[in-house]
Amino acid sequence: EADIYQTPRYLVIGTGKKITLECSQTMGHDKMYWYQQDPGMELHLIHYSYGVNSTEKGDLSSESTVSRIRTEHFPLTLESARPSHTSQYLCASSEWGLAGGNEQFFGPGTRLTVL
Protein backbone atom coordinates (compact mmCIF):
# COMPACT_ATOMS: atom_id res chain seq x y z
CA GLU A 1 0.00 0.00 0.00
CA ALA A 2 1.37 3.38 -1.02
CA ASP A 3 1.91 5.56 1.98
CA ILE A 4 4.20 7.97 3.82
CA TYR A 5 5.69 7.03 7.17
CA GLN A 6 7.34 8.97 9.93
CA THR A 7 9.23 7.67 12.93
CA PRO A 8 9.26 8.17 15.78
CA ARG A 9 5.74 9.47 16.35
CA TYR A 10 6.73 10.98 19.68
CA LEU A 11 10.17 11.86 21.01
CA VAL A 12 11.18 13.41 24.32
CA ILE A 13 14.87 14.15 24.55
CA GLY A 14 17.33 16.24 26.53
CA THR A 15 19.10 19.38 25.40
CA GLY A 16 22.24 18.87 23.35
CA LYS A 17 21.33 15.48 21.94
CA LYS A 18 21.56 14.70 18.25
CA ILE A 19 18.32 13.46 16.73
CA THR A 20 17.14 12.23 13.36
CA LEU A 21 13.51 12.21 12.33
CA GLU A 22 12.78 9.62 9.69
CA CYS A 23 10.43 9.99 6.72
CA SER A 24 9.82 7.41 4.03
CA GLN A 25 7.30 7.21 1.22
CA THR A 26 6.37 4.30 -1.00
CA MET A 27 4.68 6.27 -3.76
CA GLY A 28 7.78 6.96 -5.84
CA HIS A 29 7.30 10.72 -5.48
CA ASP A 30 10.17 12.96 -6.49
CA LYS A 31 9.27 15.94 -4.33
CA MET A 32 9.43 15.76 -0.57
CA TYR A 33 8.90 18.39 2.11
CA TRP A 34 9.36 19.01 5.83
CA TYR A 35 6.98 21.32 7.67
CA GLN A 36 7.12 22.56 11.26
CA GLN A 37 3.89 23.10 13.16
CA ASP A 38 3.66 24.65 16.62
CA PRO A 39 0.55 23.77 18.66
CA GLY A 40 -2.55 25.45 17.32
CA MET A 41 -0.63 27.12 14.52
CA GLU A 42 -0.26 26.76 10.79
CA LEU A 43 2.42 24.73 9.06
CA HIS A 44 5.62 26.35 7.87
CA LEU A 45 7.92 24.84 5.25
CA ILE A 46 11.46 24.29 6.54
CA HIS A 47 13.01 22.03 3.88
CA TYR A 48 12.15 20.53 0.52
CA SER A 49 13.69 18.36 -2.15
CA TYR A 50 13.11 17.98 -5.87
CA GLY A 51 14.67 14.54 -5.95
CA VAL A 52 17.80 12.58 -5.10
CA ASN A 53 20.73 14.80 -4.05
CA SER A 54 18.49 17.89 -4.07
CA THR A 55 17.78 19.79 -0.85
CA GLU A 56 16.57 23.34 -0.37
CA LYS A 57 15.71 25.50 2.61
CA GLY A 58 12.12 26.55 3.05
CA ASP A 59 10.43 29.71 4.22
CA LEU A 60 11.03 29.24 7.93
CA SER A 61 14.61 29.28 9.08
CA SER A 62 15.56 26.07 10.82
CA GLU A 63 18.72 24.74 12.43
CA SER A 64 17.90 21.30 11.14
CA THR A 65 19.45 19.69 8.07
CA VAL A 66 18.11 17.15 5.60
CA SER A 67 19.48 14.69 3.09
CA ARG A 68 18.03 12.89 0.08
CA ILE A 69 20.19 9.95 -0.86
CA ARG A 70 17.29 7.76 -1.92
CA THR A 71 14.03 8.75 -3.56
CA GLU A 72 11.92 7.24 -0.82
CA HIS A 73 13.85 8.56 2.18
CA PHE A 74 14.10 12.16 3.47
CA PRO A 75 15.47 12.27 7.03
CA LEU A 76 15.74 15.45 9.09
CA THR A 77 18.58 15.87 11.59
CA LEU A 78 19.14 18.21 14.53
CA GLU A 79 22.79 18.12 15.60
CA SER A 80 22.11 19.59 19.04
CA ALA A 81 18.52 19.74 20.17
CA ARG A 82 17.29 22.72 22.17
CA PRO A 83 13.96 23.48 23.88
CA SER A 84 13.18 25.95 21.07
CA HIS A 85 13.06 22.95 18.70
CA THR A 86 10.02 21.58 20.53
CA SER A 87 7.34 21.31 17.86
CA GLN A 88 5.57 18.92 15.53
CA TYR A 89 7.38 18.02 12.32
CA LEU A 90 5.37 16.86 9.33
CA CYS A 91 6.79 15.22 6.21
CA ALA A 92 5.01 15.30 2.85
CA SER A 93 5.58 14.17 -0.71
CA SER A 94 4.13 14.90 -4.14
CA GLU A 95 4.59 14.00 -7.75
CA TRP A 96 6.91 16.04 -9.92
CA GLY A 97 5.18 18.34 -12.34
CA LEU A 98 4.11 21.90 -12.88
CA ALA A 99 0.40 21.09 -12.69
CA GLY A 100 -1.18 23.13 -9.97
CA GLY A 101 -3.21 20.36 -8.54
CA ASN A 102 -0.43 18.05 -7.47
CA GLU A 103 -1.54 16.91 -4.08
CA GLN A 104 0.86 16.65 -1.19
CA PHE A 105 0.51 13.53 0.91
CA PHE A 106 1.37 13.96 4.57
CA GLY A 107 2.80 11.62 7.12
CA PRO A 108 1.38 11.38 10.66
CA GLY A 109 4.04 13.69 12.06
CA THR A 110 6.65 13.51 14.80
CA ARG A 111 5.92 15.38 17.98
CA LEU A 112 9.29 16.45 19.43
CA THR A 113 9.79 17.69 22.97
CA VAL A 114 13.23 18.90 24.04
CA LEU A 115 13.70 19.27 27.77
Partner 1 sequence: AQSVTQLDSHVSVSEGTPVLLRCNYSSSYSPSLFWYVQHPNKGLQLLLKYTSAATLVKGINGFEAEFKKSETSFHLTKPSAHMSDAAEYFCVVRDSSNTGKLIFGQGTTLQVKP
94 binds partner 1, rule: CB under 8 A: yes
Under rule CB under 8 A, residue 56 binds partner 1: yes
| Dist CA 23 CA 100 (whole Å) | 24
Q: Residue 42: which residues within 8 A CB-CB, separation 6 or more?
A: none
State yes or no: residue 112 binds partner 1 (CB under 8 A).
no
| Nearest CB to partner 1, comparing residues 17 and 45 | 45
Q: What are the angstrom distances between the C-alpha of 98 and each of 30, 85, 95, 101, 103?
A: 13, 33, 9, 9, 12
Largest pairwise CA distance in the chain = 43
Contact with partner 1 (CB under 8 A): which of 2, 14, 42, 70?
A: 42
Nearest distance in Å: CB 43, partner 1: 5
Distance from first CA to last CA of the chain, Å, rounded? Answer: 36
- Is residue 39 near partner 1 by the rule CB under 8 A? no
Q: Does 62 bind partner 1 (CB under 8 A)?
A: no
Contact residues: partner 1, CB under 8 A: 4, 31, 33, 40-45, 48, 50, 56, 58-59, 90, 92, 94, 98-109
